[in-house]
Amino acid sequence: MRKVWTVVAAFGILAAGAAAQQRGAVKPPRSELGMLDVSLGRWVFHGTSKSRTGKTGTWTWRENCQWSPNQIYLECTFSNVWSGRPAESLVVDTYNTVDHAFWHYEMFSAGGRGAKPFAAKMDVTPNTWIEYGGPHERITYHWGPAGHVQVAIEASKDGKSWTVVDQGTGVRQ
């Protein structure tokens, strides 16, 4: 029950933040938020993954991204299939004016635990995004040419040397 209240509280905070933004609170600079525009639209990704045993599988992501009505949150829905297993999630990416950082929030309705949404800090430049899933995992997106993106999910034992475990390509539809 405690986990449920934690999730409810987290999303209550997000909703309160959105309401404060609409009342004229400090809005993130468009220069930062504009770097997220590259992900707008409908995308299809195809790639391969390696299990811990070294067995290779395939995956497909179907992503649809749009700005929230207040133009502060990039909202993306994902319908994924990982080696035959479906996963559905909602992602929200934004720039936080308090800690001056980009953040990635994801919650699952299928394929991941509902009580385990996660937040990941992001490094964002015009052509590269890196989401940090902790000290031992990251997802790197390399955008370009227009309408194309290369993605790699990488693992590390020491946080310095990275090994690609999943990789693929996305194309805007």
Per-residue pLDDT of the chain (173 residues), as tens digits, is: 444 444 444 444 454 455 544 555 678 888 899 999 999 999 999 999 987 667 889 999 999 999 999 999 999 999 999 888 999 999 999 999 999 999 999 999 988 888 888 899 999 998 999 999 888 999 999 999 999 999 999 999 998 999 999 999 999 99
- CATH number at 108 reads 2.40.128.20
Amino acid at 2: R
Residues contacting residue 68 through CB under 8 Å, at least 6 positions apart? 18, 74, 75
Per the listing, tokens 């991204």 go with: 65
Give the contacts of 167 (CB within 8 A, at least 6 positions apart): 47, 48, 150, 151, 152, 153
How many structural domains does the chain have?
1
Residue 6 counted as domain residue: no
Classify residue 22: in a domain, yes or no.
Answer: no
Residue 71 lies in a domain: yes
pTM of the entire structure? 0.81
| 92 domain-assigned | yes
Does residue 7 fall inside a structural domain? no
